[in-house]
Every structure is written in structure tokens, then in C-alpha cells.
Amino acid sequence: MSEKLWGGRFIESTDKLMESFNASIDVDKRLYESDIKGSQAHLEMMEKQGIISSEDAETLVQGLDTVKTRIDNNEMAFTDALEDIHMHVEENLGDVCGTVAKKLHTGRSRNDQVALDVRIYLKEETLTLIQMLKDFQAALVTLADANRKTVMPGYTHMQRAQPILLAHHMLAYYQMFKRDVGRLEDSLERLDVMPLGSAALAGTTFPIDREYTCQVLDFSRVSENSMDAVSDRDFIMEFISHASICMIHLSRLSEELILWSTSEFAFITISDAFTTGSSIMPQKKNPDACELVRGKTGRVVGNLMAILTVMKSLPMAYNKDMQEDKEPLFDTVDTLKICLDVYTRMLAHIDVHKDRMRTACMTGFLNATDFADYLVNKGIAFRTAHGIAGKAVNFAMGQGKELGDLSLEDMRSFSDLIEKDIYDFISLDAMVARRNSHGGTGFDKVSAAVDAAKKELGS
């Protein structure tokens, strides 16, 4: 039992099955840089406070650098017997420095150590993801910028509704991902808390300086309650919640790109570089990147359910259940990063079929609302005008025509207020141009919105 850092109280050896079941090293070994960074800051603080000598502190700091190099170079053997990354680092530090390594764990517990490691890791990953989201927003704006005047059908209930600009559509997603950036930035305030020094749950009797450790590790503040610090994982729940919302936004975009790339829509062509073929049907070109992003959304939402379920009934303070927090966290980070990376690259290689989009606006009575608006401008109440427009649509359908194909005589049968100017009023470009309310799809408003987005991104 001497091999176990906690083995003094135990007589029997740990069952090999229990060692495997209890170990988390296969998952948490990716925290080694955070773990070593936290340990070195802890040593610096203990030296300052006179808890260990300067000589011992220097020896251990250098020894941790050696351990890090070993892990960087894949020279460390991982074993279930050492359970987790903390015990692997400490054990290997002993190989490098000898018995002085036993002083490293003074004034702390694995409970506050792992809480620190995860916060260091997640702070770095959150900042990376914020930048990746901004890069993806830039790709959306680039696509919008190239399509400021590209008219396409807007849909509600997946039915053609009113004409919009493709740039307006892309900027809708820009706004969604802008909120995703805001959520991650907001969560950093609650994530940026230093828990080390809380020990197992009650704090420590050693004269530590938590504020100093906090400063060394570049956290904004220390945790206020030692029990909360070691048992809190709501920062992980919050992150995965935000990531789930972001993935749902990506999934919605995926669905539209998939539809638009079908022969039925034929609005876009996705580059061969981001599509695949069929093993049996030679003609196929499948939007697999989009489908995978749509599918991986379920993984991230599942990770959220997993961490919520793990935490829902845990008493204070630390419980081994919380070892299950890392797999959903790491998988969420990895999944969101690869999805954003793929989409940022893919958007730059989409061909937009502008003529096809414009042609699609010519059928389906997308000008019916403007027909009603024309009557409102003539003094008819909107509800009455709506009814008149509906009757005109029904009549045109019976004739196999669009509203703009009806003769003036036919139109005047629904209202004698209709004049020849109706045709210009319900023309495609006129309909788009008039929608200049704030946030609307009018040419001027969308162009200004593209410029504003570019300015926000510094491009």
C-alpha cells in the first residue's frame, strides 16, 4: 500500500477491478499543464509564506518542469494504480526530486486541486472559443458582404413568405452567434475564481496567502466559501449550456444549408472539399459536414443532461460522482471547436446561385402582403385589405397566374382603388427596397448592417 498516496489507513490492497473503475487518468491526463501550473504557483506562495524553504521550492518547481517535459514528449507511463493526473504528477515528481516531493501537497487537497485545474483549463478554452466564434462571424459577414443585393425567398413554416436578402439571412445568424459570444464572455466572470486553498472542504491550518496565489495564476478573485469551492461545478454546467445553445444555432444553419444544396432548392453548391460521395450511387454529393454538425448537436445537448444529472442530488461537499464532470466537458469543448473550425472554412467555399434564388421569389405569391399594403396606402384598413389580397391570390391561383400577371381589369374587380402603379409597387426589388424599418431587409438597411458588423469585428 506504500504506492498509494492515501494508503496509510488501508491494510488490504485495492482490487484491480476497483483500481480500473476508480481511475480517471485516461480522461483527466489532458489537465497536466493546468495541474503543473497550479502546483508551481502553490509552491511559490508556500515559499513566500515560509511554509517551505526557498531551496525546496526551487527544486520542486524545476522538477515539475521536468515532469511536464516528460509528458510533453510522451515519456510518462500512465497507470490506473495512480488514479488521476494529480497523483501521476506527484509520483513522477518524486522520481525526479526524491522525498522532498512529499512537501508539494502541503496545505491543499485533490479536491481544491482539481477544481483549480478545471477552471484554468476552461478559462483558456473559453477564450479560444470566443475567438473562434468571432472568426466564424467574420465568415458569415464575408458571405453577407458578397450578397448585399442577392434576393431570395424568406420562409415561415417552411413556406415561401416574403422576399429578403441573402445578406440579411446571414446577418440573422451573425446576431445569434454574437449572443453566443456574449454568453461565454459573461460566464468568464463566474469562471474566473481561484479555489486553491479551500483544501478538502474546510480550508487549511497553514498560513497560506490565497490572494497571492490568485495573483500568480491570473485569476480575478478567490472563492469565498471553501465548501462551495470544492463542490461547485455550475461553471461547467453553465459552459455546456452555452455551448448547447451555440450548437443549436449551428444545427439550424446546417439544416438550411442542407436544404439549399438539394436539387429541389439549388440555391447553393457546397465545395467538394466539404462534401462526400456515395459508395453505390456515383452521382451523389452529400453535405456530410453540415449533417455531422447537425448530428453532433445531440452529443453536446446530451453532455448538458449528463452533468446536470450528475450534480442534481449531491450533498456537500466533494463526492466521487464529480469525477464524471470531465468527459462531458472535454467532449463539449472538442466538439464545439471542430464544428466552428469546419464551418468557418466551409462558408468561404460556398457558391451562391443568385439567379436561382431570384427566380424562386417570382412564384408563391411573395408579394401578397405588399398587395395588401398598397390598399392600406389607399386608405383601406389593413384587415380589410388583407381579405381583399387573399381573394386576389385565390383568383390568381385559379387562373394559374401570379398576382403580377393579372390584368389591371382583373385587379380592379377586387378594389376600384387599384391603379396601374400596383405593378411597380409589388415588383420584387421595390418590395425589398421598401423594407427599411430598423432591422429590416431593405437594401440600405442591410448594407448598413453589413458595414456595422464588419466594424464590430474590426475588419
Please give the torsion angle defined by the CA atoms of residues 66, 72, 73 and 75, in that order, rounded to the nearest 10 degrees: 70
Region of 93 please: left (phi>0), alpha (psi -120 to 50) or beta: alpha
CATH homologous superfamily of 111-148+159-204+227-359? Fumarase/aspartase (Central domain) (1.20.200.10)
CB count within 10 Å of CB 74 equals 7
DSSP conformation letters of 370-409: HHHHHHHHTT--HHHHHHHHHHHHHHHHHHT--GGGS-HH
The CA distance from 377 to 411, in Å, is: 16
Q: How confident is the model at residue 5 (pLDDT cuts 50, 70, 90)?
A: low
What CATH number should be reported for the domain whose range is 363-454? 1.10.40.30
Instruction: Name the burial class of residue 390, with classes exposed (0-12), middle (13-18) and buried (19+) by CB atoms within 10 angstroms of its CB.
Output: middle
What is d(CA 391, CA 58) in angstroms, rounded to the nearest whole number?
87
7-106 and 111-148+159-204+227-359 in the same fold: no
261 a catalytic residue: no
What are the backbone angles phi and psi of residue 270, rounded to the nearest 5°? Answer: -90, 140
Mean pLDDT, all residues of the chain: 96
Query: Could you tell me which of 11, 328, 431, 360 has the C-alpha nearest to residue 160?
Result: 360
Considering 157, 279, 313, 407, which one is annotated as catalytic?
A: 157
Neighbour tally for 415: CB within 10 Å = 19
Catalytic residue among 20, 54, 220, 278: 278
> What's the fold here for domain 7-106?
Fumarase C; Chain B, domain 1 (1.10.275)
Res 64 pLDDT > 80: yes
**pLDDT over 70, % of the chain:** 98
pTM of the entire structure? 0.94
Query: Each residue of 246-259: pLDDT tens digit?
Result: 999 999 999 999 99
**Is pLDDT at 1 greater than 50 in this prediction?**
no
The residue among 365, 449, 347, 366 whose CA lies nearest residue 402 is 365
Cell of 414: 377586387
Of 11, 223, 245, residue with least CA distance to 119: 223
Is 249 in the active site? no
Burial of 361 (0-12, 13-18, 19+ CB in 10 A): buried
Please report, for the chain, the start and end positions of each structural domain, with discontinuous segments joined by +.
7-106, 111-148+159-204+227-359, 363-454
What is the pLDDT confidence band of residue 436, given thresholds at 50, 70 and 90? Answer: very high
Q: Which residues contact 402 (CB under 8 A, 6 or more apart)?
A: 362, 363, 365, 367, 396
Bridge-based pairing of strands 159-165 and 350-352 is unpaired
